Amino acid sequence: MSFSDMPVDVGPVYEGERIRAKQMYVELGGPKMEKHFELVRVKPAKEIKDGEVIIHGPDLKDMEQGSTHPIGILVEVSGPELEEDLEAVFERRIHEFCNFVNGIMHLNQRYTNWMRISTSAFNKGFNSFQMLGTILIRLFKAELPIIEKAQVTLYTEAKDIEKPHEFAMSIYDKRDERARTIHDEDVDMFYGCVLCQSFAPTHACCITPDRTSLCGSINWFDARAAAKVDPKGPLFEIPPGECLNLEAGEYAGINEMIKKRSLGEIERIYLFSGMEFPHTSCGCFEAIDFYIPEVNGHGIVDRNYSDVAINGLPFSAMANQTGGGKQLPGFNGISIQYIVSPKYQQYDGGIETIVWMNKGVKDRVEEFLPKDLLPKIATEEDVPDINNLKKWLEEVDHPIVKTWAEALGEEEEEEWEAEGAMVPMGTVGMTIPGVGGAGGFKIILKNCKIHAESIIIKKIDPRAKRKK
């Protein structure tokens, strides 16, 4: 496959490229745009004109520098071995393939997709969406040889995108609805995905019926279909092996997989905990589940929310800490679909520990949450900040209030209030090698906040001390 006819280079080497606001020619989709999407559909061969790129709306060269536009990417594919279950996994590749283009940055997925095209790419001659469509078609066919024919339709005008956007949303809903019909105990195989390792080398998603991938795009059915057609590809089977802790969702097979795929960096995963051995997070999680030590509860914020969350931090700041393949107790990248899973963070106390969600998330999940709990979960419209949250939770008699007596001492609370809102760390274990013997020792910091410019840990030689 050649891209020598393109004015810009195309290849995996450009995947990590960042395009900042001042370097961009145009922005497509993203938080400033109301409607945008990307969708892959499997179609009968006769309905596809192979290689065709159709543009509805202004082309790149007709757009003003610095402007923002809607973007809808519809990729239609055909092939005798293709089935509908493969659509979501193919769709996830749009992210990767767009990022292969030197001069395109693509973030997120489904209806949160966000792209920037750099001024330098535009100046080199990358001035038409025809080129983007053609690159996508070539990459889809080359990287996924079971695709025989492909065509791409791009929507860049607000009025043209309405209908296809509505259609795309109905397809996402249909996929999510189906995913809710099965549970971990109904299956004997889990799946993994390493598509995000180019950004987060120690990250691998574990996809089970009760825990959809954190990007929200790949559920258990999708992963199963992908692993079946391409077992050596980025999606693969994980035989669960022995269940080591049912409530936490700890399986020998998952631990083994993550140890291998993270090159020994991560050894254990609790599928259903954000506080102990949480699932790693790459960067494309739909939302973040974060611990709020002040009330011993959890908050959820999604990436569409532009204000600060109840802990005083914007999504972007939390995302920086959460992502990158880390396992950070107290901050866990999740999909929206996982919030409605019956096993949602059940090891930490489950759905009843949720005390705050931004309204956008709450609106999306409310029909699936317990009716009596719903009015007790605050949004930005109910409580302005953390100082008012505690009182509000008491007023609505949130179930978390019952946990306070044992979890929060009055003394500690006053101290926290005096120090203002800070980053919650949850429970963090640090092992310091070479101190206190060959194995080092472990310091467990529970519900704590530390402010320090530096920490010096010195080995004190008792004999030297005596000489003084």
Q: Which residues here bind ligand SF4, judged by CB under 6 A?
A: 92, 193-196, 205, 213-215, 217-218, 282, 284
> CA triplet 326, 332, 333: central angle to 5 degrees?
90
Rounded to the nearest whole angstrom, what is the least distance from the CB of residue 445 to ligand SF4 in the complex?
29
Nearer to Zn ion, 108 or 151 (CB): 108
Q: Contact with Zn ion (CB under 5 A): which of 8, 53, 284, 309?
A: 284
* Burial (Cβ within 10 Å: 0-12, 13-18, ≥19) of residue 84: middle
DSSP string, 253-310: HHHHHHHHHTTTS----BTT-SSSSBPPB-S--SEEEEEETTTTEEEEEETT--SB-T
Which helix (H) or strand (E) is 160 found in, with range?
helix 158-179
Nearer to Zn ion, 214 or 238 (CB): 214
Longest distance between any two alpha carbons in the chain, whole Å = 90
Rounded to the nearest whole angstrom, what is the least distance from the CB of residue 220 to ligand SF4 in the complex?
11
CB within 8 Å of 238: residues ≥ 6 apart: 189, 190, 191, 192, 206, 253, 254, 257
Convert residues 145-184 into a mask of x (bound to Zn ion by CB under 5 A) and - (unbound): ----------------------------------------
Q: Contact with Zn ion (CB under 5 A): which of 104, 282, 357, 361?
A: 282
Instruction: Please report, for residues 18, 98, 101, 195, 233, the alpha-carbon distance to residue 89 in angstroms, rounded to integers and kept in the order given.
Output: 24, 15, 20, 10, 11
The answer to whether residues 102 and 125 touch, using CB atoms and an 8 Å cutoff, is no
Rounded to the nearest whole angstrom, what is the least distance from the CB of residue 287 to Zn ion in the complex?
13
Rounded to the nearest whole angstrom, what is the least distance from the CB of residue 429 to ligand SF4 in the complex?
25
Residues that bind Zn ion (rule: CB under 5 A) add up to a total of 3
> CA triplet 457, 458, 461: central angle to 5 degrees?
155
Rounded to the nearest whole angstrom, what is the least distance from the CB of residue 92 to ligand SF4 in the complex?
5
Nearer to ligand SF4, 214 or 301 (CB): 214
What, of ligand SF4, Zn ion, none, does residue 214 touch, CB below 5 to 8 Å by kind? ligand SF4
What, of Zn ion, ligand SF4, none, does residue 217 touch, CB below 5 to 8 Å by kind? ligand SF4
Q: Contact with Zn ion (CB under 5 A): which of 131, 150, 196, 238?
A: 196
Nearer to Zn ion, 15 or 50 (CB): 15
Nearer to ligand SF4, 16 or 429 (CB): 16
What, of Zn ion, ligand SF4, none, does residue 26 touch, CB below 5 to 8 Å by kind? none
The answer to whether residues 369 and 351 touch, using CB atoms and an 8 Å cutoff, is yes
The answer to whether residues 23 and 66 touch, using CB atoms and an 8 Å cutoff, is no
Q: Estimate the crossing angle of helix 87-99 against helix 129-143, to 10 degrees.
A: 120
What, of ligand SF4, Zn ion, none, does residue 213 touch, CB below 5 to 8 Å by kind? ligand SF4
Interaction site with Zn ion (CB under 5 A): 196, 282, 284
